[in-house]
Amino acid sequence: MTEAHVINLPDRTDRWEAMKIAWKDEPITLVRRDAIRINGTDIPDAYHAVFLKHREMLTTAKKLGDKHILIMEDDASPCKDFARHWAVIKEYLDARDDWELFNGGMLMIRDCVEKIVRIDHKDKKDPTMLLDVWRGAMAHFLYMKVEPCLKKMEDWEAEGKPMFDGWYSHKLKTIASIPYLSFQRDGYSDAAGEVRSWEERFTYEEDTMKFALREFMGPLVENPQFDHEDPRQTLLREIDRTSGGFQPPKSPMWNGHGYS
């Protein structure tokens, strides 16, 4: 079981009850944490409040000697086969040092993938895809490496207190997943002061990414004609074909950021 720290306002017991129902059959232990309230002055909006809560929880985790922490928002729900994908993702991440933030439900990542990792399962069905990304949004399911995240979060004030979810993906070594692990439920948002609808957006963007990754996610072949390290040969392949096709380069080679 993984302990998940859930940010929740004390008076939003409806959200907390919905969380307990949504996650009751998953390998997650929910721990409720009081959200920081917006006060209109030094905490003017939800982005400030949630970032400060993140930093507070990471500071506590560091004092306790924890290397990682899972933080969730109180409108997060698990996607299909959550337990299957989370088990291999967590094992992969916990064994590595080349990441700082994992986002289990990241939107707007279609054109900002730098690296693709495919994790196959014993039944050879529905692989788990991990994507190194440099941009994205949403923060309802974050698995964070405590010390490097805390260190870089020290720059938030000096950099103008930006909206933290987009800032994280620029600032931190970020990994996203397809399929998504979690989506945000539709409902009234205290931060926005209105009913927000997200569920269709998550479905649409996940389907779009699965289409872009279709050759990567398909059955493995003995002699693949593309390099898994090169997103140009996967995410952009359908674009290349419309202009006469794309032949994988012999030299130079893709180094994760460009051709060298």
pLDDT, residue 254, reads 44
241 versus 86: which is more confidently predicted?
86
- pLDDT-based confidence at 238, cuts 50/70/90? very low
Pick the CATH number of 2-241 from 1.10.10, 3.40.1000, 3.40.1710, 3.90.550: 3.90.550
Q: What is d(CA 77, CA 72) in angstroms, rounded to the nearest whole number?
A: 10
pLDDT, residue 190, reads 65
* Cis peptide preceding 219, ω within 30 of 0: no
Decide if 196 contacts 218 (C-beta within 8 A): no
Strand partners, 70: 4, 143
pLDDT, residue 70, reads 98
Exposed, middle or buried: residue 236 (CB in 10 Å: 0-12, 13-18, 19+)? middle
* Among the listed residues 136, 146, 14, the one whose alpha carbon sits nearest the alpha carbon of residue 74: 14
Tens digits of residue pLDDT in 131-170: 999 999 999 999 999 999 999 999 999 999 999 999 999 9
Tell me the pLDDT of the chain averaged across its residues. Answer: 85
Tens digits of residue pLDDT in 81-116: 999 999 999 999 999 999 999 999 999 998 889 899
- SS3 state at 31: strand
Domain ranges across the chain: 2-241
C-alpha atoms less than 13 angstroms from C-alpha of 232 in its C-beta half-sphere? 13
